[in-house]
Amino acid sequence: MAIPRFSSLLRCRKWAKSDWLVASIGCVLIVFFLSFFFDPTSDSVPSVDRSRPIISPSDLVKLKLSSVAKERGAFCLDGSLPGYHFHEGSGSGSQSWLGGGWCNTVASCSARALTKLGSSNYFEQEVAFQGVLSSDPSQNPEFFNWNKVAIRYCDGASFSGSPEAEFKNGTRLFFRGQLIWEAIIDELLSMGMSDAKQAILTGCSAGGLASLIHCDYFRDHLPKDTAVKCVSDGGYFLNVPDVLGNPTMRSFYHDVVNLQGVEKSLDQKCVAKTEPSKCMFPQEFLKNIRTPVFLVNPAYDFWQIQHVLVPTSADPDKSWAKCRLNIKECDAEQIKVLHGFRSSMMTAIGEFHQNKDGGMFIDSCYAHCQTVMSVTWHSLTSPRIENKTIAESVGDWYFNRKPKLLQQGSSRFLKFSIRDQTWSKSDWLLASIGIVLIVFSFSLSFNSTSDSIPSVDRSDLVKLKLSSKAKERGAFCLDGSLPGYHFHKGSGSGSNSWLLYLEGGGGCRTIESCSARAMTRLGSSNFFEHEVPFFGVLSSDPSQNPDFFNWNRVMIRYCDGACFSGHPEAEFKNETRLFFRGQLIWEAIMDELLSMGMSHAKRAMLTGCSSGGLSTLIHCDYFRDHLPKAATVKCVSDGGYILNVLDVLGNPTMGSFFHDVVTLQSVDKSLDQNCVAKMEPSKCMFPQESLKNIRTPVFLVNTAYDYWQIQNGLVPDSPDLDERWKICRLNIQECDAAQMKVLHGFRSSLIDAIGEFHVNKEGGMFINSCNSHCQIRESWHSATSTRIENKTIAESVGDWYFNRKPVKLIDCPYPCNASC
Q: Do 37 and 3 meet the contact criterion of CB atoms below 8 Å apart?
A: no
Q: Do 212 and 282 meet the contact criterion of CB atoms below 8 Å apart?
A: yes
Q: Report d(CA 126, CA 12) in Å as an integer.
A: 10
Give the H or E element holding residue 283. helix 282-285
Give the H or E element holding residue 83. strand 83-87
- Tell which residue, 65, 73, 55, has the closest CA to residue 14: 65
- Sequence-separated (6 or more) residues with CB below 8 Å from residue 557: 464, 483, 484, 485, 486, 503, 521, 525, 528
DSSP code of residue 691: G
Residues annotated catalytic, as ranges: 610, 706, 773
- DSSP 3-state assignment of 585? helix
Residue 385's Cβ-side half-sphere holds a number of Cα atoms within 13 Å equal to 24
- DSSP strand E in 442-590: where? 461-466, 484-488, 497-502, 531-533, 552-556
Quickly count: other Cβ atoms within 10 Å of residue 592's Cβ. Answer: 19
> For residue 298, what are the CA distances in angstroms to 117, 364, 370, 515, 558?
26, 5, 9, 20, 32
**Amino acid type, 235:** G
Scanning 134-281, the segments in alpha helix (DSSP H) are 164-169, 177-190, 206-213, 215-220, 248-260, 268-271
Q: Report d(CA 624, CA 86) in Å as an integer.
A: 47
Q: Which residues pair with 533 in a beta bridge?
A: 461
Q: Report d(CA 798, CA 784) in Å as an integer.
A: 18
Q: What is the DSSP string of 103-140?
A: --SHHHHHHHTTSTTT-GGG--SEEE--GGG---TTT-
Q: Report d(CA 316, CA 46) in Å as an integer.
A: 22
Q: Report d(CA 333, CA 352) in Å as an integer.
A: 30
Q: Do 423 and 364 meet the contact criterion of CB atoms below 8 Å apart?
A: yes
Q: Report d(CA 620, CA 572) in Å as an integer.
A: 28
Degrees to nearest 5, angle at CA 185 with 184 and 190: 95
Degrees to nearest 5, angle at CA 89 with 87 and 92: 150
Q: Report d(CA 253, CA 209) in Å as an integer.
A: 12
DSSP code of residue 313: G
- Tell which residue, 286, 434, 289, has the closest CA to residue 350: 286
Rg (CA), the chain: 26
- DSSP 3-state assignment of 388? strand
Q: Report d(CA 489, CA 507) in Å as an integer.
A: 30
- Tell which residue, 232, 259, 254, has the closest CA to residue 169: 259
Q: Which residues pair with 502 in a beta bridge?
A: 556, 608
